[in-house]
Structure 1
Amino acid sequence: MATAEETKAARSRVFFDITIGGKNAGRVTFELYNDVVPKTAENFRALCTGEKGVGKMGKPLHYKGSIFHRVIKQFMIQGGDFTEGNGTGGESIYGAKFADENFNLKHEHPFLLSMANAGPGTNGSQFFVTTVPTPHLDGKHVVFGEVLSGKSIIRQIENLPTQSDKPARDVVIANCGELSGEEALAAAVKAPDAYGDEYEDFPEDDTTEQSISAARVLKIATDCKEFGNKAFKAGDLSVALDKYQKALRYLNEDPDLEKESDETKSKLEALRFSLNNNSALMNMKQQNWEDTIRSAENALAVANVSDKDKAKALYRKGYAQVRIKDEDEALKSLEAAKKLAPEDAALNAELAAVRKAAAARIAKEKAAYKKFFE
């Protein structure tokens, strides 16, 4: 009789290579529960390889080239309709539809693979990946696998803007297949990206500890800041911003700090400031003015910040306010910054330009009023 470890080792492992809006997003790997739902798992495995050829509908029985057509945040992402691409089609390797195999497995946590259907016994090729526990689907949909790696890609898809639940940018399974040998063994390992980042993008997906400690939050946030700095130096501003925001998500986990030293608390707050201020800079360089203001305000909300650092945040806030033509608020921000850093050349130049523009506007308004009463 096979042990639990042997049974798990015999489970199929497959992959999707995903593109979002035509750009490579990375690889998602899955483990299929052949031991619990062999027929359902085999259907998905064969649709990943495309080995069954052309189906009765005249389309290849293959997920390659198909899209995720339905995305609902805090619920699931759905794909697998390779015939119509809109949720009305699809076909199993057994024919159009096949029966529910069993409901032994429950929708207990995120990143489970489950069959989409139109009622009892209507399984085809469409599937979904849960992004939260979905117990209301128990007994109605067949769970047949789970995500091993690429959870951040699932989250990225989940958070895309949608229209009538369809992603605004096409999410395509550019390639797919079955993993074997060393590739299969390595499928559960999250590979570091080009900057060395091997952490999950969202702290709730980090399963290395049952509860995230202040020490781990500090380490991950510090590391992510360094990854962001590397990306910034490489000129990859959007990735740098993503890394700073990722670090902030971990900081916002709010571990219990009561037992922590003043030094640890101080380090966490200093990190919070620099991550928000760096985010303001990245947004400013990408001309995301509203986000620049928001990030700068978040930085300014942190206590015990030096005058020099506070001046930087105020300058970035004021700079963005000028660009959205909020002249009065820009003057307030820049003048407050000048009090803290009176010798800053860039700040003084920006403030002088805003004052000059304000004076010109006032003069123009006075001339218009004078003409009106002549």
Structure 2
Amino acid sequence: MKRLVLPWLLTAALAACNQTPPPAAQPKSLPPLPGPDPGTLADSSAPAALLAYGRQYPGSEVLITTRLGKIRVKLYDDTPIHRANFLLLTRKGVFNETMFNRVVKDFAVQGGQTTGARTIRLKRYRLPPEIRPTHFHRKGALGMARYDDEQNPGRLSSNTDFYFVVGEKLTPAQSRQMSGRLLTPAQLKAYATVGGVPSLDGQYTVFGEVIEGLDVVDRIANEPVESDKWPVDNIRMKVKVVK
């Protein structure tokens, strides 16, 4: 009886059928993002933790993307705690779950975390003020809100609620009357030609400014709002560090 010789392709196929398939590749877990967990920070621990983070993981510009366009923002070096906090929350993706939640035409547009029911809540810690005479509330300034003034004599900033100044153009006399500080000739000129809200000077920390997309801030400021100043159509955001 002749021995049956199988073609080599068929032999290989049969051999493959008898082999145990290799185990499926396990998805690789992403390494945790560097920096402190914002949920573990408190008023007392935040400044030191944020300063250390800012030194190790610096950054100077962020890009905010909305349905109305993009806003590119420069963060100031001389407000290191606020800058590091904004960089940390941006890289952790916190702002990507928020929206512009308070829009007041000719005044300011505010976004980030709130205590309202229509946005996520993050454990609140506060930042010590970093109010600088050179930073003022001209149009396009980036500042940090604060709350509970009666229980907040130190004027500690919110950790997540930021705002862009819109304001109006003002005469030097109006600016002097509204501002709580002595304004320089350059600042008076900016309020007259660009506009702003000098009544906020010396009260809140300004830690950055819009360098591209001021027209987008105007579009946000002109959105229809409900009685609580929340936009009728939500203005969600995506924020990333670009420099």
Please report the TM-score for the alignment, with normalisation by the length of structure 1.
Answer: 0.37
Cα offset, 1:83, TM superposition: 6.9
Q: Distance in 2 between matches of 1:76 and 1:179?
A: 24
Q: Is the 8 A contact 1:69 1:85 kept in 2?
A: no
Q: Distance in 1 between matches of 2:106 and 2:119?
A: 19
Aligned to 2:156: 121
Q: Distance in 1 between matches of 2:122 and 2:204?
A: 16
Q: Distance in 1 between matches of 2:85 and 2:98?
A: 16
Change (3 A) 1:148 1:63: same
Aligned to 2:60: 12
Cα offset, 1:89, TM superposition: 5.2
Aligned to 2:241: 178
Aligned to 1:333: none
CA deviations 1:185-225 (Å, max 9, x no partner) are xxxxxxxxxxxxxxxxxxxxxxxxxxxxxxxxxxxxxxxxx
SS at match of 2:110: strand
Aligned to 1:64: 96
Aligned to 1:349: none
Cα offset, 1:14, TM superposition: 0.4
Q: Distance in 2 between matches of 1:12 and 1:111?
A: 16
Residues 1:37 and 2:101 are matched in the alignment: no
Q: Is the 8 A contact 1:17 1:176 kept in 2?
A: yes
SS at match of 1:167: coil
CA deviations 1:149-187 (Å, max 9, x no partner) are 1112111110011112111110000x211113xxxxxxx
Aligned to 1:199: none
Letter of the 2:102 counterpart: R
Change (3 A) 1:142 1:85: farther
Q: Distance in 1 between matches of 2:95 and 2:115?
A: 10
Query: In the TM superposition, what are the counterparts of 1:208-357 in structure 2 within 5 Å?
Result: none
Residues 1:130 and 2:178 are matched in the alignment: no
Tell me which protein shows more helix as a share of its residues.
1
Letter of the 1:47 counterpart: L
Q: Is the 8 A contact 1:162 1:168 kept in 2?
A: yes
Aligned to 2:232: 168
Aligned to 2:128: 99
SS at match of 1:128: strand
Cα offset, 1:103, TM superposition: 3.6
CA RMSD of aligned residues (A): 2.4
Q: Distance in 2 between matches of 1:106 and 1:116?
A: 15
- Give structure 2 stretches of 5+ with no counterpart: 1-57, 150-154, 168-195
CA deviations 1:121-162 (Å, max 9, x no partner) are 142210100012111111210000001111121111100111
Please report the TM-score for the alignment, with normalisation by the length of structure 2.
Answer: 0.56
SS at match of 1:28: strand
SS at match of 1:156: helix
- Give structure 1 stretches of 5+ with no counterpart: 1-9, 20-24, 51-60, 181-374
Query: In the TM superposition, what are the counterparts of 1:50-89 in structure 2 within 5 Å?
Result: 50=92, 62-81=94-113, 84=116
Aligned to 1:150: 213
Q: Distance in 1 between matches of 2:159 and 2:209?
A: 18
Q: Is the 8 A contact 1:84 1:90 kept in 2?
A: no
SS at match of 1:162: coil
Identity %: 26
Q: Distance in 1 between matches of 2:118 and 2:78?
A: 30
SS at match of 1:48: helix
Change (3 A) 1:67 1:108: closer
Q: Is the 8 A contact 2:64 2:71 kept in 1?
A: yes
CA deviations 1:12-63 (Å, max 9, x no partner) are 00011112xxxxx322110000x2101111111222221xxxxxxxxxx610
